[in-house]
Structure 1
Amino acid sequence: MSGDVDGAPKSRLLRSWAIQRRVIGALLMREVITRYGRHNIGFLWLFLEPMIFTLGVTAIWTATKSVHGSDLPIAAFAVTGYSSVLIWRNMPSRLVDSIAPNLSLMYHRNVKIVDIFAARLLLEAVGVATSFMVLTLFFAAIGWLNLPEDPLKVIEGWLMLAWWGMSLAMFLGALSHRSELVDKFWHPTAYLLFPLSGSAFLVDAMPPEFQKWILYLPMVHGVECVRDGFFGSHFTPHYDLGYMALINLTFTFLALTEIRHASQNLVPA
């Protein structure tokens, strides 16, 4: 009898998880079709879009012989920098003002705000991760960069960047349901953070007084960790993933709190 009692919560949990997976899967497919359509190359744009952006930056840097504070190859620097920055910059842009267009879905009992957010975040993460991996293998094959010295550090740094992007995106996405000013302020803020994110420079190449301030930005730690995994023996990395995890946890808590508030004040269309 006790076994049945103990198994009941577990059974309900498994059923809930199965429903959650189906809901997110359906929303994911809906998002792919809505965003990329069924024509031309369709969902392949999910991977090609960030690849084209990174390739463009690499080409511009190579043509202008840009200096980034080290003697590392331009291709290696661009792939690690711009592929990393896309993950935290694109995610908030996909979630800000994303609740209102999906209000009709809220008539379905099993569809929640967090499900819509999860589908969009998963789609963005898969796209950027795939382009990052393909570009790394492609540039390594043609001799423009070497494969990572420590792949685990690359994965660790990238996952921390993805966590930062997701927590920030969920917070801003839910907050934008309170005020449309979030959308107005996020885009210029993203442009201002872009040159400070560590994508275009090494922290070690900066003046010591500047290093102290720039390391307050959590994404800088993630980019430095990714680069440490790629070519850590060629420069001195500066990062603290413990600090970054603390910031990520804080924003995750704020995001979940704001999502709860948005859910309680939701009026389906």
Structure 2
Amino acid sequence: MNAPSTIPLIRSLRIQARIIHALIMREIITRYGRHNIGFAWLFAEPMLFTIGVMALWSVAHDANPNHHINIVSFALTSYSTLLVWRNGIGRCALAIEPNASLLFHRNVRVIDLFFARLALEIGGVTLSTVTLMFGLVAAGIIDPPVDIVNMVIGWGLLAWYTCAMGLIIGGLTEYSEVVDRIWHPLAYFQIPVSGAFVMTSYLPPKARDIVMLFPVSHCTELFRYGYFGSQVTPYYSIPYVCTWCLVLTWLGFLVVRGASKRVEMQ
């Protein structure tokens, strides 16, 4: 009895998947072109940034060797999480206007523009991180991860937060371009509390309480704990992050719905 009712849903999901795929391919060609290494810049660019940070932190570590963990591993597991939310949310800002012509297609909606960009950014950083990790482990520079499951959970929660905030920031920029200008400095101000550059366990209790108010720090701690295991003391709460993400996702859908109506009226 339920089979006929599921057929329209499956058909809709297939159409949605084709739309997102087409938007992703268009975004890749528009952004990277067909010359040189083309779409490989999608993961090569964040990889170069991460390698640069690892090199700088390694030099600083040589000057102050009093660390109990591999600094290359710490840089990789830290800076990669920063790239996910900063790049993903930033790419959603002002995403509607340059793609407004695509909305004349019946099946393309405003939210599809955001999903395509989010999938592209998160996928690129993910591929970059996995490639670097495999390469460094194979070269013997870093140790293999201790618990991949915790790493995947932490990465997934961070991706969820990125998508929710991307919808909010991307939708609000349709109301005013000032949102985009405000978001960039706010993103930089969030870096010290994102857990990317220092472990929460190293902070004084009062500073730790402030950092733990931000859901990104929980995701970073869990991801890092999955890699290092008992070498680090993590501070995180999965229910806390899920609650934040649920609220932000709901707000994101409301904002995008309002932005879609504004686009339709224009």
Q: Which amino acid in the other structure matches residue 28 of structure 1? A: I
Structure 1 vs Structure 2 CA RMSD: 1.7
Task: List per-residue Cα deviations over 1:108-154 (Å, max 9, x = no partner).
Answer: 11000111111111111111111111111111122221111111000
Equivalents in 2 of 1:94, 1:62: separation in Å?
A: 30
Equivalents in 2 of 1:42, 1:87: separation in Å?
A: 21
Find the partner of 1:64 among 60, 72, 75: 60
Task: Note the 1:132-151 alignment, pairs <5 A.
Answer: 132-151=129-148
Which residue in the other structure is 1:258 paired with? 255
Which residue in the other structure is 1:22 paired with? 18
Q: 1:257 to 1:73 in 2, by over 3 A?
A: same
Which residue in the other structure is 2:37 paired with? 41
| 1:9 shift after superposition | 3.2
Q: What is the percentage of aligned positions where both structures have the same residue? A: 41
| 1:69 shift after superposition | 8.8
Equivalents in 1 of 2:247, 2:64: separation in Å?
A: 35
Which residue in the other structure is 2:113 paired with? 116
**Structure 1: segments with no counterpart, 5+ residues:** none
Q: 1:268 to 1:47 in 2, by over 3 A?
A: farther
Task: Note the 1:141-180 alignment, pairs <5 A.
Answer: 141-180=138-177
Out of 15-24 and 129-138, give the one that drifted further: 15-24
Is residue 12 of structure 1 aligned with residue 8 of structure 2? Answer: yes
Which residue in the other structure is 1:226 paired with? 223
Q: 1:67 to 1:154 in 2, by over 3 A?
A: farther
Is residue 205 of structure 1 aligned with residue 214 of structure 2? Answer: no
Q: Which amino acid in the other structure matches residue 63 of structure 1? A: V
Which residue in the other structure is 1:97 paired with? 94
Aligned pair count? 265
| 1:7 shift after superposition | 4.6
Which residue in the other structure is 2:51 paired with? 55
Equivalents in 1 of 2:8, 2:137: separation in Å?
A: 48
Q: Secondary structure in 1 aligned to 2:175?
A: coil
Counterpart contact for 1:221–1:244, Cα < 8 Å: yes
Q: 1:25 to 1:268 in 2, by over 3 A?
A: farther
Task: List per-residue Cα deviations over 1:165-207 (Å, max 9, x = no partner).
Answer: 1111111001110111110101111111112211111100111
**Structure 2: segments with no counterpart, 5+ residues:** none
Equivalents in 2 of 1:207, 1:247: separation in Å?
A: 24
Q: Which has the higher contact order (CA 8 A, sep 6+)?
A: 1
Which residue in the other structure is 1:249 paired with? 246
TM-score where L is the length of structure 2: 0.95
